[in-house]
Amino acid sequence: MDLTFTPEQLAFRDELRTWLAEHGPAGSLAPEPDDEDASWEWRREWQRTLAAGGWAGVHWPTEVGGRGATLTETAIFFEELGRSGAPLPADVLGILLAGPTLMVWGDDAQRERLLPTILSADETWCQGFSEPDAGSDFAAVATRAVLEDPDDPTSDWLVTGQKVWTSGAQYAKWCMLVARTGGPPAAGGTDVAAAAAGAATGAGAATGAAATGAAETRPKKHQGLTY
């Protein structure tokens, strides 16, 4: 297997290196603050700088603000980011997980509403997978999601349950949530689905692929979400 970069990949790398030299730690990027909240805002501003340069979601299609980068070019992006000493974008979960999921499973209204705010870091995402009594064992997930109107598959999902170890929940607008849509594990209810729920702000999500309802967050680093 020939692992030599193609001329196109080298051009991608060189363009990125030039941009990072101007905008990254060797250029205009200020040092990271020590304070946790200030550090978060610093990373959010850095992501906005990336977005303005077209580098926030390189693997996203061009029609939704990305560069349409290949897998190799995406690997080059992260390698060069580390090489320059630049931080990751603030909303890595949104860029790598939520955005691509919405592109495949979201409807047009959801993509139009949510994708731009992911790239700009105006609304960030956290991940609600682990639970107090389940850890990261998906088979033991107890958080429930039920349709507000069981006869209307486009109605909102109502979520009850608790998540733990939810990094960044205190800053997030949305949570990528794993919840059980069937019965409890002991009753053979094995249906588990992912949805989006309002996180730190308790905001309602878009109809259909998302959940509604408030979520209470614990302060600072060791986060938990209770719905």
Residue 221 has pLDDT above 50, yes or no: no
Report the pLDDT value the prediction gives residue 199, as an integer from 0 to 100. 47
d(CA 148, CA 156): 6
Mean of the per-residue pLDDT values for the chain? 84
**pLDDT band at residue 154 using 50, 70 and 90 as cut-offs:** confident
What are the distances in angstroms from CA 104 to CA 61, 97, 115, 195, 208? 12, 11, 12, 13, 14
Q: What is the pLDDT of residues 170-209, one digit of tens each?
A: 999 999 888 888 765 555 444 555 555 554 443 333 323 3
Q: Which domains does the chain have, with CATH numbers?
A: 7-90 (1.10.540.10), 124-198 (2.40.110.10)
Report the pLDDT value the prediction gives residue 212, as an integer from 0 to 100. 42
- pTM (two decimals): 0.81
Residue 99 has pLDDT above 70, yes or no: yes
Report the pLDDT value the prediction gives residue 190, as an integer from 0 to 100. 46
Q: Which residue has the higher pLDDT, 27 or 225?
A: 27
Nearest Cα neighbor of 92 from 121, 68, 72 is 121
Q: Name the residue with tokens 């909303």.
A: 91
Instruction: Please give the average per-residue pLDDT across 99-112, as a whole number.
Output: 93
Residue 13 has pLDDT above 90, yes or no: yes
Residue 42 has pLDDT above 80, yes or no: yes
Q: What is the dihedral of CA 107, 162, 151, 189, to 10 degrees?
A: 110
Judged by DSSP in three states, 141 sits in: coil
